[in-house]
A and B are shown apart, each in its own frame.
Chain A
Amino acid sequence: MAVETAPAPAPSAPRGGNVHGRARALTLLTPIRPFWTPFLWFVMRSARYHTYFRDHSLQFKFIYYVRWAVFREFPGGEKKRYPYLFFESNFDIPWRQYIDAFAYVIPKDIRVIWGRGFAFPGPPPAEPLKRWIAMNSLEGGHYYMAYPEASVKMTMAALEARDGCEALAERAGSMTPEQFRKAFDETVGDLQFHL
Chain B
Amino acid sequence: MARSKLRAAREFFSLVSQTDPNRYGKAYGLTALFPILPGRTDALEAHLNGLEPEESPLARLPQLHMSRLHVIRGLVYQGPPQIPETLDHHYLIFTVSIDGEIDAFLRDFASRLGPDADAIFSHTVGFPGTGDPAAFARWAIQHKRNNGYLVSPWPFETVPRIHEALRVQAGFGELISRCGELSDAELQAEFRMLMAGGQ
Residues of A within 8 A of B (CB): 16-21, 23, 25, 27, 29-31, 40-41, 44-45, 47-49, 53-54, 57-58, 61, 63-71, 74-76, 78, 80-82, 84, 86, 88, 90, 117-120, 135-136, 138-150, 152, 154-169, 172, 175, 177-178, 180-181, 184, 188, 190-191, 194-195
Contacts and interface: CB of A to CB of B under 8 A. Distances in A.
Nearest to A162: B165
B85 A161 contact: no
A188 B172 CA distance: 9
Contacts of B45: 140-141
Q: Chain A: interface secondary structure? A: mixed
Contacts of B91: 74-75
Given A81-B85, A184-B187, A88 B33 contact: no
Contact of A158 (B58, B66, B168): B168
Nearest to B175: A184
B172 A165 contact: yes
Nearest to B142: A75
Contact of A160 (B2, B16, B33, B66): B2
Nearest to A169: B195
B183 to A, nearest CB: 7
A65 B97 contact: yes
Nearest to B12: A51
Interface string B1-16: 1110000000000011
B53 A144 contact: yes
B184 A178 contact: yes
Given A31-B75, A48-B15, A144-B56, A177 B169 contact: no
Nearest to B156: A159
Contacts of B132: none
B43 interface: no
Contact of A177 (B3, B51, B72, B187): B187
B178 to A, nearest CB: 12
Interface in B137-195: 142-143, 145-154, 157, 159, 161-166, 168-169, 172-173, 176, 179, 183-185, 187-188, 191-192, 194-195
Nearest to B63: A146
22 contacts: A17-B68, A21-B53, A29-B75, A40-B148, A48-B151, A54-B151, A65-B152, A66-B150, A67-B147, A68-B148, A69-B146, A75-B143, A90-B66, A136-B76, A141-B68, A145-B65, A149-B166, A160-B1, A161-B165, A161-B172, A162-B164, A162-B168
